Amino acid sequence: MLRSAALARFGVEVLDELGIQSAHVLGASFGGAVAQQMAFSYPRRVRRLVLASTSFGGFAMPGNLQAFWHFIRPRSYHPERLERVAGAMFGGRLRTEPELVRSMHIRRPTDTMAALYRMAPLFGWTSLPWLWAIGQPTLVIAGDDDPVTPLVNHQVIATLMPRATLHTVPGGGHLVMLDSAPQVGPLITRFLQGSAVA
């Protein structure tokens, strides 16, 4: 089982392989934890950081239990059922436009243990003690209808990180990068270009 630190190291090894000294790093959901770890452990390799629909791990406000149940239950991912539960599972536009899930290529876990194994690197991990030490300019993006990673977790991250800005997407869900792409895409572009974001 790979831990967040090992996955962050893997990210740096990818940069090494490509001959890239430093890069902007975007992490969504679990990827946000890896991005935080990478920015902390290898600060010279990360120029700007974008964190979407994520948390700081241990001690964070947990998500909705119904959403978690659907996440770990393979039956929830069957095409016919996924459209019925997508709103409860991910929130956001999928509550009113569940058919959007058809184009999102969400991978079904083989069984419940496999689903839990996906989350295993987060068990026992938290960035809370060292968020203050992440000095890169950071954009934190959160949907206000995210049943997986509640908004308060993003507020904590943005408060503790010295150069972080929080942007809340009204009506955005856990898949805010997809369900609110027209709002989020230009925002990220402006941020990575060094412009101020509201």
- Catalytic amino acids? 29
Other CB atoms within 10 A of residue 45 CB: 18
Compute how many other C-beta atoms are within 10 angstroms of the C-beta atom of residue 7: 17
Pairing mode of beta strands 23-28, 46-52: parallel
Judged by DSSP in three states, 125 sits in coil
Q: Do 115 and 109 contact (CB within 8 A), yes or no? A: yes
Helices (H) and strands (E) in the chain — how many of each? Answer: 8, 4
